[in-house]
Amino acid sequence: MKKRIVTLLKGTVTAAVVALAAPNSGQAEPGVSTNKILFGQSAALNGPAQALGKGMLEGLNAAFAEANRNGGVNGRMLELISYDDGYEPEKAIANTNKLISEDQVFALIGEVGTPTSKAAQPVATAAAVPFIGPFTGAGFLRDPALKNVINVRGTYNQETEAWIRHLTGDLGFDRIAILYQDDSFGRVGLAGVKKALEKRGLTLAAEGTYKRNTTAVKSAVLEIRKAKPQAVVMVGAYKPVAEFIKLARKVGMQSVFVNISFVGSKALAKELGDAGAGVVITQTVPFPWDSSIPLVKRYQAAMQGAEPGFVSLEGYMVGRIAIMALERIQGEPTRQAFLDAIYRTGTFDLGGVTLTYGPGDNQGMDNVFLTIVQPDGSFKAVTRLTGSS
């Protein structure tokens, strides 16, 4: 029997239950009963990328618990089943099939990663199941033909363009190298960086790779060091990226290190410790500690004392768009009515942050924000890079 984590969010109570429940044969739509709407998530809850899966789960739970404390959505409580895929595509496929066929969830939500989303999305699309808020900026998920996919964040191409714009424009750099995960995620980032450099008449100074779910980056450090790059842009998860930066500093590299949002900012800063000061990370959500933004203030309250973070804020935002769409359904909730509500509504105001959807547009935000890791491991939001950042 395969384990699942069922997060039952009723009132202020959150319970982790290991069980297999028979679907309600009387429900009009899979995942919908008279008092409940069931969502499913496959994400990395163990392994080198587990902080990302757990962060998304934490944010989703916060959004659903907040709604349930206020009576749910039209009297229906929101429930989330989460399976661990370890950031491996094969496991993501198995989990997705199980969530759809056996657990009969209403929608899939909060998938984590490009290779896992690339594996799981076709399964969801073939079954006409909504695929909501994947934690990836991969361009293939923005295909207008994928009407069941609803993205919240901006793309990796938007992040890589911001990297090169700031490195060349703010700092005047022209020797830029890249470390990337050798899979579909890393290659998306590589293509985006090359495109942004070519736009400015530049090419990469050096390339280094590592294998997914490993920290084997020593050869990449040695290869990239030869080029003496002014900056190293990085498309990877927090553990191998942290290992690269620590090794690079040990061998005397003075480069500026720039990371993609998927890295997992809090986890990276923790892994780096004293070696983290000055590391740049682009973000696709607002600053989680800026309570002057109504969305962030609401998120902080929903977290009920848990430490804020970029990943959990994204999870919360994904949960909020799902809730707001359910609230806009006229009549009984169906999967198609849920998706129609998103495209029909078009603009969703989350509180100082707007998500906009429409015909051929399944991505809510385009924003890219800059943050710098501080010596104490905290983060500073900036609008440009300087030599003293």
Residue 302 covered by a domain: yes
One domain, residues 204 and 58: no
One domain, residues 97 and 200: no
Residue 181 covered by a domain: yes
> Which range of residues forms the domain containing residue 243?
156-283+369-382
Report the CATH number at residue 61.
3.40.50.2300
**pLDDT (average), residues 94-117:** 98
Q: Are 56 and 112 in contact (CB under 8 A)?
A: yes
Burial class (CB in 10 A: 0-12, 13-18, 19+), 137: buried
One domain, residues 130 and 167: no
What is the pLDDT at residue 17?
31
One domain, residues 230 and 266: yes
Of 185, 260, 251, the residue nearest 223 (C-alpha): 251
Does residue 81 surpass a pLDDT of 60? yes
Percent of the residues in the chain that have a pLDDT greater than 90, as a whole number:
91
pTM exceeds cut of 0.85: yes
Q: Are 355 and 348 in contact (CB under 8 A)?
A: yes
- The model's pLDDT over 102-112, given as tens digits with 9 standing for 90+, comes to 999 999 999 99
Query: How far, in Å, are 18, 124, 162 from residue 385 at the CA level?
Result: 47, 40, 11
Does residue 66 surpass a pLDDT of 50? yes
One domain, residues 199 and 82: no
What is the pLDDT at residue 389?
55
- The model's pLDDT over 288-297, given as tens digits with 9 standing for 90+, comes to 999 999 999 9
- The model's pLDDT over 191-223, given as tens digits with 9 standing for 90+, comes to 999 999 999 999 999 999 999 999 999 999 999
d(CA 60, CA 24) in angstroms, rounded, equals 24
Residue 363 covered by a domain: no
One domain, residues 23 and 97: yes
One domain, residues 245 and 340: no
Residue 169 covered by a domain: yes
Does residue 170 surpass a pLDDT of 80? yes
Strand 149-150 and strand 176-181: pairing?
A: unpaired
Residue 389 covered by a domain: no
- Among 6-10, 69-73, 82-86, where is mean pLDDT lowest? 6-10
One domain, residues 236 and 378: yes
Percent of the residues in the chain that have a pLDDT greater than 70, as a whole number:
93
What is the pLDDT at residue 137?
96
Domain count, the chain: 2
Residue 361 covered by a domain: no
Does residue 124 surpass a pLDDT of 80? yes
3-state secondary structure of 130: coil
DSSP string for 79-116: EEEEEE-TT-HHHHHHHHHHHHHTS--SEEE--B-HHH
One domain, residues 180 and 218: yes
Query: How far, in Å, are 106, 129, 157, 221 from residue 360 at the CA level?
Result: 23, 18, 18, 42
One domain, residues 30 and 126: yes
Residue 364 covered by a domain: no
One domain, residues 255 and 121: no
One domain, residues 162 and 130: no
